[in-house]
Structure 1
């Protein structure tokens, strides 16, 4: 594993937290956070879904997952972690239930490990599962 991948793996853990999630992601309009992520997009890449916690957010494009960790008191410093769907080896989707209103998505990335995201009940977790399946199957 190269030192660059080790650095990225650490950054992902800051967002996903291998233990129980500290915050839950809620759906938001990709246009609301598009200005932060748009400079990272390549030709033919479109933002499809966006989810936000208090400060951090996650964007699903048609090619990858971009996790943004907002840092510092002012929130101007940001860590952008790009996780391409081409590196997904396996994934798990857990839908919300009657008493447990949260949904979960776990992704296993080649050379990186597991990324776990927890969503509030209104998130369309099945659509995310379909998006990922269409890129890694």
Structure 2
């Protein structure tokens, strides 16, 4: 009887050790997945940012070319857009989302007292400025 109890205890220790290894592997996989998702989000934001900005540049350039008034500065604007990093685009997208969330919060009547609302307005406006490229990215 003692030998079977010892065998069961030994097997239990093996199973617990295996569970710890699996938990560690699972956490490592979760970490890798989160890193991949952050990278994917950064690239998606960057692509969206570039398309939006370059579409505007293209539209302006097309109109100006039609009237013969294209200047080198417009090409410089397009180059500046293309030189942006994906991290800057992600920061702009995040700031836009934060500003939108704060704006929605402010749409509810009586959400917070005046100092809280004033702080929310200030944060929202700061995020909007950041999203437009005028703040720290």
TM-score > 0.5, shorter chain as reference: no
Rg larger for: 2
Query: Normalized per residue, which structure has more strand?
Result: 1
TM-score of the two chains, using structure 2 as the length reference: 0.24
